[in-house]
Amino acid sequence: MIETKNLTKVYKRGIESVYAVKDVTLSIKKGEFVSIVGQSGSGKTTLLQIIGCMDMATSGILKINDNEIQNSSNKTMTKLRRETFGFVFQQFYLMPGLTVYENMVMPLLFSRNKSDKAYVDSLIEIVGLKGKEYNLPSQISGGEMQRVAIARSLINKPQCILADEPTGNLDSSNSEKIFELFSRLNETGLTIIMVTHNQDLAKRTKRIIEIKDGAIR
Amino acid sequence: MNLFSLSYKNLLRHKTRFFLTLLAIMSSTAVLFSLLSFHRGFDRELSKELENTGVHFMIVPSGCPHEVASLILHGAVIPKFLSPDLLKEVNKLDSIALVTPILVFQMANQQKASVVLIYGLEFDALKTLKPHWKINGSLPSNDREIILGYEIAQHDNLKVGDNYPIGQALYRISAVLEKTGSQDDAFVYLSIKNAQGLLKKDDAFTALAVKVKDTANINEVIESLTKDIPGIQIVTISQILNSLSSVANSAKILSLSVAFIAIIISAIGLMNSILMSAFERRQETGMMRAVGAGRLDIFLIYTIESVLQTFTGSIMGIVISLIGSKAIETIVKKMMPYSPSGEMITFNLDIALMCLALSLSIGLIVAFYPAWIASRISPVEAIKS
Ligand SMILES: Nc1ncnc2c1ncn2[C@@H]1O[C@H](COP(=O)(O)OP(=O)(O)O)[C@@H](O)[C@H]1O
Ligand SMILES: [Mg+2]
């Protein structure tokens, strides 16, 4: 469902050019569970952002479901983020004033999708947050916060989850829970691309892409 | 959940900031609403009061400016007197129903080392001159009795039956005027004969109040009077109304400018607070963009936050100014050069709607720049720290 060809992202730092992503050509099929590994600063986040239509590549081709995305309008990019992708961040980014439930359904405000009660309930069940729906983020643990964020990424029924170091702020047992959750979601056919530092977790995914200095090794 | 409740919850995250912004908007709207209502009431009560006087016009010494002439009706001291014969002359005219002299002056009160404002009049004509007056006590029945204005009675703690010294003599207070909120409150009213005696000028008066038999020919009466009698000037009630309003107008404009400045200041405060939260919430806004919010969605969230604040604040302001209307009225009356009696701040739907509309537009205008800034935040913000 995702194809890139010679994808490159250059940042200008003064007169110096930094190749955050360099000639990346890859193809990820529907239903894959891919981990992206590499040292800090190797360009993993930048690559994930370009794939997820949050950022534009400087050059190269990006195809999502066989549609070329390069030079698309803002609207098209927003639509893809809203409908095709779900994002999970290292810092969770829950809204502090909203309950667990409200944080989960927040993207519905923008997709104008009707809140499907049965689906939301099933999500709460899947991420294991039953009984905590009306807690505020400050009242739950880090592992639980990340599970709220995962439920939020699933609310618009995306085809692909993009997770940037989702376990980076969690201890090993919580990391394990998040990974298991991703594995189960992947078994239902969801494509998952996960950037991680955790070698053990990466080894358990079906495919590992290693990045060094912006390029695939 | 919808965009409104999301915006509302965002506001509640900074309760102190929210409260202070509301306070500023509330205060400035309260000032604007009270002033506009007051001015409306002022015009209404002023014309009511002047229409109620049985007097149709005043005769004053010529060269007397209109403003002063008009204030005579409510007490102003002018150093000129009319000729004693004038009263008899005017009285002779068929077309005139009533003519009554007024003598206004100030005199030193040796005992209290202060100045007393004296208003000499014929008590028989009181009902015609001051129909809106409410007095406690009875009308003076002899030359030794007087009526005290509300403020004097308050200031010296005097009641009906007490004695009040003017010059060398003591006078009995037969009545105290109820508060009018106008210059009337500051005068001592005594019979014109007594007033003339105090001034040591028999037959002197500063003005004649005139009532005609047939209002249809007021203009002819005035014309013939001005033609036949030199050295006088005639001011009609409608001219008085006009000059009182024009005196009041500059005070109105001044007070409204203060209200508008208050509104501008609170608008700037609001803009600052929205701009601040737009910067503080960069990451969160980026996250929203990442999970599918369009630029318009972000723009709307910030705009709704702004409008929610101006709307709530101005409704609170209107309610507060209605609750505190009595106190506000007293304060504003003090700032006006002249105020009619009567209740001025009342609820006017059109003024309330105008204040709300103004606050809504300010909410929209003020939000535009911060909301635009926020809507340009890229989704990449959410991941890069
Ligand atoms: N907005 C930016 N401006 C300039 N350089 C950037 C920017 N974002 C990332 N970079 C640089 O691009 C490289 C890759 O960054 P990133 O994708 O965040 O790496 P990773 O996620 O693997 O740690 C780094 O050298 C980083 O400094
Ligand atoms: Mg990174």
- Per-residue tokens: A189: 């056919």
Distance from the first to the final alpha carbon of chain B: 29
Which pLDDT score, from 0 to 100, does residue B385 have? 52
Q: Are B38 and B78 within one domain? A: no
Set of chain B residues whose Cβ sits within 8 Å of the Cβ of A49: 379-380, 383
Residue A43 alpha carbon to ligand 2 centre in Å:
7
Report d(CA A54, CA B276) in Å as an integer: 25
Tell me, what's the ipTM?
A: 0.92
Judge whether A73 is closer than 8 Å to chain B, CB to CB: no
Q: Are B167 and B123 within one domain? A: yes
**How many angstroms away from the CA of A49 is the closest CA of chain B?**
7
If you count them, how many residues does chain B have?
A: 385
Q: Whose CA is nearest to atom 4 of ligand 1?
A: A11
Contact criterion met (CB below 8 Å) for B37 and B344: yes
With helix as H, strand as E and coil as C, how does B1-60 read? CCHHHHHHHHHHCCHHHHHHHHHHHHHHHHHHHHHHHHHHHHHHHHHHHHHHCCCCEEEE
A108 phi and psi angles, rounded to 5 deg: -65, -25
- Whether A97 and B10 lie within 8 Å, measured CB to CB: yes
Q: Are B289 and B370 within one domain? A: yes
Evaluate if residue A37 carries a pLDDT over 90: yes
Closest CA to B226 of B57, B55, B84: B57
pLDDT tens for B302-360 read 999 999 999 999 999 999 999 888 888 788 777 766 677 677 788 889 999 999 999 99
Cα–Cα separations (whole angstroms), residue A119 to A123, A124, B332? 6, 9, 61
Do the domain assignments include residue B118?
Answer: yes
**Residue A91 pairs with which residues in a beta bridge?**
none
pLDDT band at residue B273 using 50, 70 and 90 as cut-offs = very high
Do the domain assignments include residue B238?
Answer: no
Residues with CB under 6 A from ligand 1: A 11, 13, 18, 20, 38, 40-46; B 384
Do the domain assignments include residue B154?
Answer: yes
Q: Are B25 and B90 within one domain? A: no
The count of structural domains within chain B is 2
- Whether B380 and A55 lie within 8 Å, measured CB to CB: yes
Q: For chain A, how are helix, strand and coil distributed in percent, rounded to 5?
A: 35, 30, 35
Q: Are B180 and B248 within one domain? A: no
Do the domain assignments include residue B120?
Answer: yes
Which pLDDT score, from 0 to 100, does residue A189 have? 92
Set of chain B residues whose Cβ sits within 8 Å of the Cβ of A55: 378-380
Which pLDDT score, from 0 to 100, does residue B129 have? 79
Distance from the first to the final alpha carbon of chain A: 22
pLDDT band at residue B72 using 50, 70 and 90 as cut-offs = low
Q: Are B223 and B251 within one domain? A: no
Q: Are B357 and B311 within one domain? A: yes
Q: At what angle do helices A117-127 and A142-154 cross, to 10 degrees?
A: 150
Q: Are B147 and B215 within one domain? A: yes
Q: Are B334 and B185 within one domain? A: no
Residue A41 alpha carbon to ligand 1 centre in Å:
6
Task: Look up tokens 């601040």; give the residue.
Answer: B276
Do the domain assignments include residue B53?
Answer: no
- Whether A105 and B1 lie within 8 Å, measured CB to CB: yes
A 85-114: CB under 8 A from B: 86-87, 89-91, 93, 95-98, 102, 105-111
Per the prediction, chain B carries an average pLDDT of: 85
Q: Are B206 and B70 within one domain? A: yes
Domain termination site, one of B230, B264, B298 = B230
CA A116 to chain centre: 23
Do the domain assignments include residue B57?
Answer: no
Q: Whose CA is nearest to atom 14 of ligand 1?
A: A43
The rounded percent of chain B whose pLDDT value lies above 70 is 92
A104 phi and psi angles, rounded to 5 deg: -65, -45
- Whether B293 and A156 lie within 8 Å, measured CB to CB: no
Do the domain assignments include residue B235?
Answer: no
Q: Are B77 and B225 within one domain? A: yes
Evaluate if residue B112 carries a pLDDT over 70: no
Report d(CA B180, CA B350) in Å as an integer: 28
Q: Which residue from B minimizes the CA distance to A112?
A: B2
Which of B282, B283, B291, B299 has the highest number of chain A CBs within 10 A, making it the mutation to test binding with A?
Answer: B291
Evaluate if residue B75 carries a pLDDT over 80: no
Q: Are B145 and B35 within one domain? A: no
Q: Which residues contact A198 (CB under 8 A, 6 or more apart)?
A: A167, A175
pLDDT band at residue B68 using 50, 70 and 90 as cut-offs = low
- Whether A54 and B283 lie within 8 Å, measured CB to CB: no
Evaluate if residue B384 carries a pLDDT over 90: no
Closest CA to A149 of A131, A118, A170: A170
Do the domain assignments include residue B309?
Answer: yes
Report d(CA A35, CA A33) in Å as an integer: 7
* Boundaries of domain holding B107: 63-230
Contact criterion met (CB below 8 Å) for B228 and B323: no
Contact criterion met (CB below 8 Å) for A159 and A1: yes
Q: How many pairs of residues across A and B have Cβ atoms under 8 Å apart?
A: 86
**How many angstroms away from the CA of A154 is the closest CA of chain B?**
10
Least confident segment among B58-72, B150-164, B174-188: B58-72
